[in-house]
Amino acid sequence: MLIVNNGIISNARIDVAIYPRLEHGPMSDVSGIILHQTSSDSIITTMAGYTFKPAGNGAHFLIDPAGQIFQTARITQVCYHVGRIKAYCKQVHMCTQRDEEVLAGIEKAYASDKDERFKQIDAWERKKPAGLRYPTNDDSIGIEVVGAPKNGAYVSPSNAQNASSRWLVSELLMTLKLDRKRIFAHGHMDPRKYPTEGGMIAY
């Protein structure tokens, strides 16, 4: 179990490098962990984005190609790392009749406008309790692994990165008292991302 003080982890395997621009207010509860891969192969470029990009997008942790783990935001703070979410009930085949009606209505009304369709599905999902939807920015921890897509698809992280992600996820699950079922690859839950993003990160 990790030692945490004011959202900052004290552990020899984690370098603390907090980027205030990534923190967007207190996070009262955590319902899941999201696995991401970056748009760049360079940790320097990724961290420069954390510093200078005005949107403040980024996750709580970053794992470089050599497997070094950086904590880039406090785990008690909201980070902008999720984006839109798909209908979770569709993925686990547990939609209620009301879900089916609403989702079918959205699909029909916005058949030719995918951006608005994604937005409406996201809005419907966010009304649900945490366990019945994918995690959002407001209740999830994000882990980014450095590595850009190649020809429209992400590739497997390095062995060192996977070893670090396994360790970090295991420790976070114990510390935050989360179920392994609440770990998600970003590409599986955000309809605007490459479907392969995060899918080959070990945990």
DSSP letter for each residue of the chain? --EEETTEEE-TTEEE---GGG--SB-----EEEEEE-S-S-HHHHHHHHHH-TT-B--SEEE-TT--EEE-S-TTB--B-------HHHHHT---HHHHHHHHHHHHHTTT-HHHHHHHHHHHHTTS-GGGS---GGGEEEEEE----BTTB--PPPHHHHHHHHHHHHHHHHHHT--GGGEEEHHHH-TTS-TTTTTT---
The residue-averaged pLDDT of 61-73 equals: 98
Superfamily of domain 3-84+136-189 in CATH is Peptidoglycan recognition protein-like (3.40.80.10)
Whether the predicted pLDDT of 149 surpasses 90: yes
For residues 53 and 117, the model is more confident at: 117
Phi, psi of 147 (to 5 degrees): 160, 115
Whether the predicted pLDDT of 102 surpasses 90: yes
61 neighbors 79 (Cβ within 8 angstroms): no
Instruction: Please give the pLDDT value at position 103.
Output: 98
Instruction: Please give the pLDDT value at position 201.
Output: 98
The residue-averaged pLDDT of 143-168 equals: 97
Residue range(s) in the chain whose domain bears CATH number 3.40.80.10: 3-84+136-189
Both tokens assigned to 17? 């490098």
Percent of the chain with pLDDT over 70: 100
**If you average pLDDT over every residue of the chain, what do you get?**
97
Instruction: Quickly state the pLDDT bin for 54 (edges 50, 70, 90).
Output: confident
